[in-house]
Amino acid sequence: MTTIARRHDPEAVERILRGLPDWFGIEESIVEYAADAARLPSYLAIDGDEVVGIALVHRRHPGSAELHLIAVAPEHHGRGVVSTLLAAVEHDLRVDGTTLLHVWTVGPSLEDAFSARSRGFYEKRGFVPLQELARADWEDPALILVKALASTR
Ligand SMILES: CC(C)(COP(=O)(O)OP(=O)(O)OC[C@H]1O[C@@H](n2cnc3c(N)ncnc32)[C@H](O)[C@@H]1OP(=O)(O)O)[C@@H](O)C(=O)NCCC(=O)NCCS
């Protein structure tokens, strides 16, 4: 069974990202995400004693939040771990009164099966594509997706 822990674990973030070279192949970016994991609100999916998935949330403005990172170790893909992580993130944001969650991911202009799978997941979970930018803080096109959250406050 997968449980969620809310604590920082930069080492787990680094380990999981290093296991996903098809999505996270840039060393500099892995190191940046690990540093982000030490300061941003962090969600860990735990299976037994092992951290098998991670999510980081960046609160840039009141009322909205960015899903800064979400990733699951490859041997645990297809088991709903990512949906459990996202549900925990969304729960906390709703309780907090946050009404918009957004995510930036690689856009469809770049033909890549791995990015397409990520976008498919987001859209299945209710994110709506908003805009594609030619580039963001990475080289490839960036798609911004948004999801409205009903506040429970
Ligand atoms: C994207 C990622 C987090 C998805 O995790 P996963 O464990 O492979 O996801 P699952 O297979 O459990 O799929 C979760 C849900 O999305 C759906 N889904 C997955 N890929 C899909 C696709 N291409 N199209 C439509 N739905 C899709 C699944 O059907 C599932 O829905 P269900 O639970 O209702 O059946 C995982 O592949 C990953 O860690 N990728 C690397 C990091 C990444 O891409 N992060 C996000 C972008 S930066």
**Segment (H or E) for 10:** helix 10-18
- Beta partners for residue 145, in sequence order: 103, 129
This prediction has a pTM of 0.94
Burial class (CB in 10 A: 0-12, 13-18, 19+), 2: middle
CA distance 28 to 74: 21
> Can you give the pLDDT of all 153 residues of the chain as single tens digits?
899 999 999 999 999 999 999 999 899 999 999 999 999 999 999 999 999 999 999 999 999 999 999 999 999 999 999 999 999 999 999 999 999 999 999 999 999 999 999 999 999 999 999 999 987 777 789 999 999 999 887
In this structure, the residues whose C-beta lies within 6 A of any atom of ligand 1 are 20, 23, 70-72, 77-83, 105, 117-118, 120-121, 124
Best residue among 121, 122, 140, 147 to mutate for probing ligand 1's pocket (most ligand atoms within 8 Å of CB) is 121
